[in-house]
Structure 1
Amino acid sequence: MKRLYHWPLDPAGRLVRLVLGEKGEAFESYASAPWAPHPDVAALAHGAVAPALVETTPAGKLFACGTRAICEQLEELQPAPALWPTDRNERAEARRLWAWVEAGCEEVTDKLLTERVMQWVRRDRQPDSEKLRRGAHALRGRLTFLNGMVELNGNLAGRTLSIADLSAAAHLSAYDYFGDVEWDAVPDLKTWYGRIKSRPSFRPLLGDRIDGTRPVAHYANLDF
Structure 2
Amino acid sequence: MQECISVPWSLPDELIAMAPGAIAPALVDTSAEVKTTAIGTHAICEYLEKAHPNPRLLPFVANECAEARRLWRWSEDSFAEVNATLLTERVNQWVRRSSDTDTASLRAGVHALKSKMTFLNGLAETRAYMAGRALTMADLSIAAHLSAYDYFGDVPWDVTPDLKAWYSRIKSRPSFRPLLNDKVDGTRPAKHYADLDF
Q: What TM-score results when the alignment is normalised by the length of structure 2?
A: 0.96
The answer on whether the counterparts of 1:84 and 1:163 sit within 8 Å (CA) in structure 2 is: yes
Structure 1: which 4+ aligned runs deviate by more than 6 Å? none
- SS of 2:35's equivalent in the other structure is strand
Q: Distance in 1 between matches of 2:122 and 2:149?
A: 19
Instruction: Quote how far apart the aligned CAs of 1:127 are.
Output: 2.5
- Structure 2 counterparts to residues 22-61 of structure 1, below 5 A: 32-34=7-9, 36-57=10-31, 59-61=33-35
Instruction: Quote how far apart the aligned CAs of 1:60 are.
Output: 4.5
Report % sequence identity.
58
AA aligned opposite 1:4 = C
Corresponding residue for residue 4 of structure 1: 4
Deviation sequence 1:160-215 (CA, Å, 0-9, x none) = 11110000000000000000000010000000000000011112210011111100
- SS of 1:216's equivalent in the other structure is coil
Q: Distance in 1 between matches of 2:100 and 2:89?
A: 9
- SS of 1:108's equivalent in the other structure is helix
2:62 to 88, 91, 100: 88
Whether 1:203 and 2:198 are equivalent positions in the alignment is: no
Instruction: Quote how far apart the aligned CAs of 1:149 are.
Output: 0.6
Point out where structure 1 has 5 or more consecutive residues left out of the alignment: 7-31
Larger RCO, structure (CA 8 Å, separation 6 or more): 1
Corresponding residue for residue 105 of structure 1: 79
Deviation sequence 1:24-72 (CA, Å, 0-9, x none) = xxxxxxxx122x2221111100110110001224754311111100000
The answer on whether the counterparts of 2:76 and 2:141 sit within 8 Å (CA) in structure 1 is: yes
AA aligned opposite 1:33 = P
- Structure 2 counterparts to residues 1-224 of structure 1, below 5 A: 1-6=1-6, 32-34=7-9, 36-57=10-31, 59-224=33-198
The answer on whether the counterparts of 2:152 and 2:189 sit within 8 Å (CA) in structure 1 is: yes
Instruction: Quote how far apart the aligned CAs of 1:125 are.
Output: 4.6
Distance of aligned partners of 1:145 and 1:58 in 2 relative to their CA distance in 1, 3 Å threshold: closer
Deviation sequence 1:56-89 (CA, Å, 0-9, x none) = 2475431111110000000001112110122221
AA aligned opposite 1:150 = A
Distance of aligned partners of 1:39 and 1:125 in 2 relative to their CA distance in 1, 3 Å threshold: farther
Deviation sequence 1:95-137 (CA, Å, 0-9, x none) = 0011111111110011000000000111145231101000000
AA aligned opposite 1:186 = T
- SS of 1:205's equivalent in the other structure is helix
Alignment root-mean-square deviation, CA: 1.2
Q: Distance in 2 between matches of 1:59 and 1:170?
A: 30
Distance of aligned partners of 1:57 and 1:96 in 2 relative to their CA distance in 1, 3 Å threshold: same
Q: Distance in 2 between matches of 1:165 and 1:58?
A: 27
AA aligned opposite 1:38 = P
